[in-house]
């Protein structure tokens, strides 16, 4: 149901809840959090909805959860740019002032009318790796490759042993078959000698 909708069919009317503003407004960081979304939604569908209404998306991160209250999936949406439209400004102000904004698009089966947008309080920054991180990753991958190469060598040796045993059994079987043929021929020759007498 949710995955088949497109951003064009999910235009967001402005819905600002009447709530008590936060004592201290939240600091805006171009990253929002949706506590629960439907598993059928893809990153592309979410990106389409967000870019139609709020701003240019740079990255979307999914996080699954499993608790006593149930299981599901959360989404963190990181924006490269927040639009300067009246609607986008209103949503941002509501999130900063009230702590959330209820968007009139259900992105979860349990929420038939709205989806709650919150500020992402701990966004994972987009960073370049330092040379030390790259070196550490190279060491890690080198170790994995070494282990895999050892496993491959072990499998090769195992296959060679199997082939050797197969060839040995084949030689023994051929030898037994030849011996049996020779005995049949000897028996037949013996019978022919008896008949000639």
Give me the sign of the Cα torsion angle 172, 173, 174, 178.
positive
pLDDT tens figures, 121-176: 877 776 666 677 777 778 888 888 989 999 999 999 999 999 999 999 999 999 99
Using CA atoms, how far apart are residues 39 and 190, in angstroms rounded to an integer? 83
pLDDT-above-90 percentage for the chain: 23
Report the percent of the chain where pLDDT is more than 70: 73
Q: For residue range 184-195, what is the model confidence (pLDDT) as tens digits?
A: 776 666 665 555
Task: Please tell me which residue, 148 or 68, carries the higher pLDDT value.
Answer: 148
List, in sequence order, every beta strand (DSSP E) within 11-143: 31-37, 55-67, 70-82, 100-103, 115-119
116 has a pLDDT exceeding 70? yes
The predicted structure's pLDDT at residue 197: 55
Lookup: tokens for 91: 């949503």
Report the distance separating Cα 120 and Cα 96, nearest Å. Answer: 11
pLDDT at 24: 55
Q: Cα–Cα distance between 177 and 183 in angstroms, integer? A: 10
**Short-list 84, 94, 86, CA closest to 15:** 94
Q: Which of 34-38, 113-117, 152-156 reaches the highest mean pLDDT?
A: 152-156
pLDDT at 108: 58
Q: What is the pLDDT of residue 164?
A: 94
- Residues 158, 152: Cα–Cα separation, whole Å: 10
DSSP 67-103: ETTEEEEEEEEEEEEE--SHHHHHHHHHHHHHSEEEE
Q: What is the CATH number assigned to the segment(s) 7-119?
A: 3.30.70.330
How is the chain split into domains, by residue range? 7-119, 127-197
């Amino acid at each position: 149901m949710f995955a088949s909708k497109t951003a064009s069919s999910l235009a967001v009317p402005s819905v600002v809840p009447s709530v008590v503003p936060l004592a201290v407004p939240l600091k805006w960081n171009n990253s929002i959090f949706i506590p629960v979304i439907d598993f059928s939604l893809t990153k592309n569908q979410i990106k389409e909805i967000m870019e139609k209404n709020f701003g240019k998306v740079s990255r979307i991160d999914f996080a699954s959860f499993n608790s006593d209250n149930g299981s599901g999936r959360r989404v963190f949406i990181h924006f490269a740019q927040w639009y300067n439209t009246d609607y986008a400004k209103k949503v941002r102000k509501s999130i900063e002032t009230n702590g959330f904004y209820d968007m009139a698009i259900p992105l979860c089966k349990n929420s038939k009318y709205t989806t709650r947008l919150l500020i992402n309080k701990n966004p994972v920054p987009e960073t370049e790796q330092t040379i030390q991180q790259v070196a550490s990753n190279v060491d890690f991958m080198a170790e994995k490759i070494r282990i895999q190469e050892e496993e491959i060598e072990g499998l090769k040796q195992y296959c060679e042993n199997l082939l050797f045993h197969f060839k040995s059994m084949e030689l023994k079987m051929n030898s037994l078959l030849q011996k049996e043929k020779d005995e049949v021929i000897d028996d037949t020759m013996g019978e022919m000698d008896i008949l000639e007498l």
